[in-house]
């Protein structure tokens, strides 16, 4: 089955499956809308399950709505290697986000079986339920589910038609009362691997088809409120103003400059939402609230920037006669990929002569939830123009096949009996 390009995976089969899955819930020509726990989502699951069974995996839909296909290992007591992603999408989403991770995992495992390789540990291919969080406004549901990270009240969350998550799960044939039994016991998952589109422009700018993910950055989310004094736009002299919008604008611009200072660093900072009160063209703005999103792979640098943002707020508030307050909405730490898995991915790419630049993941993925219970690794596939969550999202079949090939070789390395016999744990 060796092709001229040195690839062992079956690119044609993979391409066809990606194409077929993209027809389920298709909107416009290249987009999909497969919201979690909808009939379209179920149609996708039925199709992927059929392919899993064709490949020879034992499949089930767990109580969280995750589709799982299992290949037994020679020693089923060993911790599982889990590989997957999601097949739900954004309402106006693309065909590659998540889908290539599930279908790539299936292709890699099917290829392993066709090559006559019997893994020592069990391998599970998984399509996680509701990664996107678009329907119930909270994502990573299935991956948080199996790792015991669901929060109080999640089943009562409603979609915009008033349907609760519980009702949607039950309509899907899932039984929330069985959640407890479906949580994987501590230590039962040994590694998690995920192939995903980059959803950003970095790999394209490096002319690299694939990238090795170093980790998922932890966002700090703040809401800042600056308060000044309202007044008539026509009567208050400039020297007597306490304009909350001018102060906020100064802070926002200076924050952006500050985040750009180390161009080599992966640090990103964004002010994405702003609200002005009273929001009238002839009143000096009295109060402005804006959000801050700050991400980095190094907590130390992120903390330093946060400290400098506080200084900026102090300085500019006193300069413009304002006061400010802030709330911290999210503060999560970066989650690093495991060295041993990164090494396995790196050497797999070397086998096919592919350079593998390293980059961080700004967005969340199911891997984030798994990172709290096992080692994990991620491979990114180049995205055209960095676009995602949109029908124009595109990754070429060649790039996806390369990613799947590296995934296949990584799994082969991690599960091969030779490695077991000399006792080295990859
Ligand atoms: Zn995704």
**Distance from the CA of 195 to the center of ligand 1, in angstroms?**
10
Could you read off the pLDDT of 371-394 as tens digits, one per residue? 999 999 999 999 999 999 999 999
How many domains does one find in the chain? 2
Tens digit of pLDDT for each residue in 323-340? 999 999 889 899 999 999
pTM: 0.90
- Domain-terminating residue out of 273, 303, 331: 331
131 alpha carbon to ligand 1 midpoint, in Å?
7
What pLDDT is stored for residue 2 in this prediction? Answer: 42
DSSP sequence for 304-366? HHHHHHHHHHHHHHHHHT-EEEEEEEEE---EEPPHHHHHHHHHHHHHTT----EEEE-S--H
CA–CA gap between residue 402 and residue 415 (Å, rounded) = 20
What per-residue confidence (pLDDT) applies to 254? 98
* pLDDT of 237: 97
Name the phi and psi angles at 130, rounded to 5.
50, 65
Residues 235 and 295 in one domain: yes
Same domain, 285 and 343: no
* 36 in a structural domain: yes
Co-location of 280 and 341 in the same domain: no
Q: CA-CA distance, 79 to 82, in Å (whole number)?
A: 9
Domain carrying residue 302: 219-331
Q: Point out the domain boundary residue: 331, 363, 378.
A: 331
- Rounded distance, CA 153 to CA 196, Å? 30
- Return the structure tokens found at 370: 């798994």
CATH number reported for the structural domain that contains residue 153 in this entry: 3.40.630.10
Same domain assignment for residues 380 and 310: no
What is the whole-number distance in angstroms between the Cα of residue 87 and the centre of ligand 1?
8
Domain membership flag for residue 3: no
Cα separation, 64 vs 70, whole angstroms: 17
Is the domain of 20 the same as that of 155? Answer: yes
Report, as ranges of residue numbers, the positions in the chain whose pLDDT lies below 70: 1-5, 417-426
Burial of 55 (0-12, 13-18, 19+ CB in 10 A): buried
Interval between CA 354 and ligand 1 midpoint (Å): 24
Residue 150 lies in a domain: yes
d(CA 232, ligand 1 centre) in Å: 49
DSSP 23: T
Q: Give a yes or no: residue 323 inside a domain.
A: yes
Same domain for 142 and 82: yes
My answer on whether 136 and 19 are in the same domain is yes
Mean pLDDT (the chain, rounded):
95
Q: Are residues 201 and 286 in the same domain?
A: no
- Kindly state whether residues 47 and 183 are assigned to the same domain: yes
> Which protein residues have their CB within 5 A of the ion that is ligand 1?
97-98
CA of 96 to the centre of ligand 1 (A): 8
| Residue 85 alpha carbon to ligand 1 centre in Å | 7
One domain for residues 360 and 321: no
Q: Single out the residue in 285, 312, 331 at which a domain terminates.
A: 331
CA of 289 to the centre of ligand 1 (A): 30
Burial (Cβ within 10 Å: 0-12, 13-18, ≥19) of residue 258? middle
152 C-alpha to center of ligand 1: Å? 24
C-alpha of residue 197 to centroid of ligand 1, in Å = 8
CA of 63 to the centre of ligand 1 (A): 21
pLDDT at 273: 93
CA of 383 to the centre of ligand 1 (A): 12
pLDDT of 5 reads 54
Q: What distance in angstroms lies between residue 299's CA and the mean position of ligand 1's atoms?
A: 24
Q: What is the pLDDT of residue 4?
A: 41
CA of 199 to the centre of ligand 1 (A): 9
Distance 240 CA to ligand 1 centre (A): 51
Say which CATH number the domain at 311 has: 3.30.70.360
170 lies in some domain: yes
Q: Tell me: do 181 and 50 sit in the same domain.
A: yes
Ligand 1 center–CA 176 separation, angstroms? 24
Tell me what percent of the residues of the chain surpass a pLDDT of 90.
93
Q: Would residue 230 count as lying in a domain?
A: yes
In a domain, 405, yes or no: yes
Residue 4 counted as domain residue: no
**Taking the CA of residue 281 as centre, how many other CA atoms within 13 Å lie in the half-sphere pointing to its CB?**
0
Q: Tell me, yes or no, whether 149 and 230 share the same domain.
A: no
DSSP string, 272-301: --EEEES--TTB---EEEEEEEEEES-HHH
Ligand 1 centroid to Cα of residue 365, in Å, is 6
Q: Which residue has the tokens 């630049």?
A: 357
Q: Which helix (H) or strand (E) holds 246?
A: helix 244-259
**How far away, in angstroms, is 139 Cα from ligand 1 center?**
10
Predicted confidence at residue 183, as pLDDT, reads 98
Q: What is the pLDDT of residue 417?
A: 59
């Amino acid at each position: 089955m060796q092709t001229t390009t040195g690839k062992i995976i079956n690119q044609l089969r993979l391409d066809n499956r990606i194409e077929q899955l993209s027809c389920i819930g298709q909107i416009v020509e290249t987009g999909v809308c497969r919201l979690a726990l909808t009939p379209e989502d179920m149609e996708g699951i039925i199709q992927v399950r059929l392919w899993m069974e064709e490949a020879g995996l034992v499949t089930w839909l767990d109580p969280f709505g995750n589709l799982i296909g299992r290949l037994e290992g020679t020693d089923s007591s060993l911790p599982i290697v889990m590989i997957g992603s999601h097949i739900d999408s954004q309402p106006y989403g693309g065909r590659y986000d998540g889908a290539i991770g599930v279908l790539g995992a299936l292709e890699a495992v099917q290829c392993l079986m066709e090559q006559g390789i019997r893994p020592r540990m069990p391998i599970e291919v998984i399509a996680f339920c509701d990664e996107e969080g678009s329907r119930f406004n909270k994502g990573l549901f299935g991956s948080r589910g199996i790792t015991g990270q669901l929060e109080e009240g999640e089943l009562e969350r409603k979609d915009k038609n008033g349907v609760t998550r519980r009702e949607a799960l039950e309509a899907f044939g899932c039984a929330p009362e069985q959640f407890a039994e479906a949580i994987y016991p501590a230590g039962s998952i040994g590694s998690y691997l995920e192939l995903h589109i980059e959803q950003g422009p970095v790999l394209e700018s490096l002319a690299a088809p694939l990238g090795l993910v170093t980790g998922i950055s932890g966002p700090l989310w703040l809401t800042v409120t600056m308060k000044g004094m309202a007044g008539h736009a026509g009567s208050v002299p400039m020297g007597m103003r306490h304009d909350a919008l001018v102060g906020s604008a100064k802070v926002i611009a200076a924050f952006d400059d500050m985040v750009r200072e180390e161009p080599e660093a992966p640090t990103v900072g964004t002010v994405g939402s702003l609200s002005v009160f009273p929001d009238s063209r002839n009143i000096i703005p009295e109060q402005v609230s804006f959000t801050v999103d700050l991400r980095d792979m190094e907590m130390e640098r992120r903390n330093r920037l946060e400290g400098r943002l506080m200084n900026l707020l102090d300085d500019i508030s006193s300069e413009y006669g304002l006061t400010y307050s802030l709330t911290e909405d999210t503060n999560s730490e970066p989650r690093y990929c495991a060295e041993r898995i990164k090494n396995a991915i790196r050497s797999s790419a070397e086998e096919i002569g592919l350079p593998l630049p390293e980059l961080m993941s700004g967005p969340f993925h199911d891997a984030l939830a798994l990172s709290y219970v096992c080692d994990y690794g991620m491979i990114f596939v180049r995205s055209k123009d960095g676009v995602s969550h949109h029908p124009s999202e595109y990754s070429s079949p060649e790039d996806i096949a390369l990613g799947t090939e590296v995934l296949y070789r990584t799994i082969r390395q991690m599960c091969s009996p030779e490695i077991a016999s000399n006792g080295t744990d990859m």
